[in-house]
Amino acid sequence: MAIKLSTDTDIVTAVSGLVGFTPRESIVSLMFGDAGQYIVTTRQDIDAQATHLPQMEQLGIVATLLIIITEDLTADQVNQLADQLADQYRRHGITMHRRLHTTQVSHGASWRNIDDGTTGLVDDPEVSDAALHSQMSGGQPNRDRDQMRADVERTTTEYTGEDHLAEYDALVRLTAAVTTGAATELLSEGGRLAKSLAAHSAKSGHFRDLVLDLARQQPAESAHVLTELARYVRGTERGILLTPAAVAAYLTGNGGRARIILETAAASGELTRMGTLLEQVLDAGLPPTELAAVIKAAVEG
């Protein structure tokens, strides 16, 4: 799906769809290559350091559109922040083509072009091309970060049985749930499947790779099913299931949801190696295609 970003209004309205949720008190950067091609969108908290900039150089990014979303800062403080960010980006060889400010990404909110002083109103983000694309790939652009985190952290009655499915059976059931998208019907024994997947993933690197490869091939469906399965288990087992769910979410292009899922996984116990790798990928803002290539190589190698 082509996403049209011709005007300042288009850009600000598209932010929720590009990020994957409705950001608040955030700095959003749309990154472009030397041929003008869109590469990736990054988001950071308003008071965070731009740790992803060195990696942006390696990706061939030469230009960015900046959107500062804040209700807390005054106009002068926003201008000062925009100047500081422009200097940071310039030191890494990235030109800032446009700098915009809005208090919030919502229909009717005002935006301001920091460079030329023009103003306008945000269109309805929920019906933008970017939002529709995000929804098709499993994003929730009409929800804010706290709502998404609450949804990911939600659990159901813990499954404590030890009657594990065999590796093959567990993988077949997971594949069936992901492929058909009928998670509710197929996961009537979700607790047993969740416990089995966590146990086999903890013991077998090859099994973990197969789950990740399924996430690579069908990321939106895998993110949903694995997140639902993780609700049945606790501790390290929950983290083991949420990690491929986070990978799958990132492969859809939804870095915001991926980070929320990964943070929930980390809170459940120590991150797996893949979790640590994904954390580095998120910090660097690398395109999902880069991670997909790593997973494909690991399975085929």
Lowest mean pLDDT among 56-65, 85-94, 279-288: 279-288
Residue at which a domain ends, from 125, 143, 161: 143
| Whether 47 and 167 share a structural domain | no
Lowest mean pLDDT among 15-19, 97-101, 169-173, 203-207: 15-19
Write the DSSP string, 284-296. HT--HHHHHHHHH
% of the chain surpassing 90 pLDDT? 45
| Whether 27 and 138 share a structural domain | yes
**Higher local confidence (pLDDT), 21 or 140:** 21
Q: Give the domain CATH number at 46.
A: 3.40.140
CA dist 19 and 255 (Å) reads: 7
Q: Please indicate, yes or no, whether the overall pTM of this predicted structure exceeds 0.85.
A: no
Instruction: Read off the pLDDT of each residue in 248-271 and give the average, rounded to a whole number.
Output: 88
**Does some domain include residue 3?**
no
Across 148-275, where does the E strand assignment appear? none
CA dist 53 and 298 (Å) reads: 27
Query: Is the pLDDT assigned to residue 265 strictly greater than 60?
Result: yes
CA dist 160 and 223 (Å) reads: 23
pLDDT of residue 182: 57
pLDDT of residue 1: 45
Q: Using CA of residue 253, residue 259, residue 262, residue 268, what is the dihedral sign? A: negative
Determine contact, residues 215/247, Cβ cutoff 8 Å. Answer: yes
Determine contact, residues 129/15, Cβ cutoff 8 Å. Answer: no
**Amino acid making up residue 54:** P
Q: Using CA of residue 252, residue 24, residue 265, residue 39, what is the dihedral sign? A: positive
CA dist 288 and 271 (Å) reads: 20
**Does some domain include residue 65?**
yes
**Does some domain include residue 39?**
yes
Write the DSSP string, 48-62. S--TTHHHHHHTTEE
Q: Is 22 helix (H, G, I), strand (E, B) or coil?
A: strand
**Does some domain include residue 50?**
yes
Range of the domain at 67: 8-143
Backbone angles phi, psi at 51, to 5 degrees: -75, -10
CA dist 154 and 234 (Å) reads: 11
Determine contact, residues 293/176, Cβ cutoff 8 Å. Answer: no
HEC secondary structure over 106-144: CCCCEEEECCCCCEEECCCHHHCHHHHHHHHCCCCCCCE
Residue at which a domain ends, from 143, 168, 203: 143
**Amino acid making up residue 266:** A
pLDDT of residue 43: 84
| Whether 55 and 91 share a structural domain | yes
Kindly report the number of other CB atoms within 10 A of residue 290's CB atom.
Answer: 12
Give the total number of structural domains in the chain. Answer: 2
**Does some domain include residue 162?**
yes
Instruction: Read off the pLDDT of each residue in 259-279 and give the average, rounded to a whole number.
Output: 89
| Whether 159 and 280 share a structural domain | yes
How does residue 60 score in pLDDT terms, banded at 50, 70 and 90? confident
CA dist 212 and 224 (Å) reads: 14
Determine contact, residues 219/146, Cβ cutoff 8 Å. Answer: no
pLDDT of residue 146: 81
- Of the ranges 168-182, 186-200, 225-239, 248-262, the best mean pLDDT one: 225-239
CA dist 160 and 142 (Å) reads: 36
| Whether 157 and 284 share a structural domain | yes
Q: Which residues does residue 63 pair with via DSSP β-bridges, in sequence order?
A: 32, 95
Q: What is the pLDDT of residues 131-157, one digit of tens each?
A: 555 554 555 555 667 888 888 999 989
**Count of alpha carbons within 13 angstroms of residue 197, beta-carbon side:** 36
| Whether 114 and 216 share a structural domain | no
**What integer best gives the mean pLDDT of the chain?**
85
**Nearest CA to 249 among 237, 238, 257, 241?**
257
**Does some domain include residue 1?**
no
Q: Which residues does residue 121 pair with via DSSP β-bridges, in sequence order?
A: 110
| Whether 139 and 182 share a structural domain | no
| Whether 43 and 182 share a structural domain | no
Residue at which a domain ends, from 108, 143, 178: 143
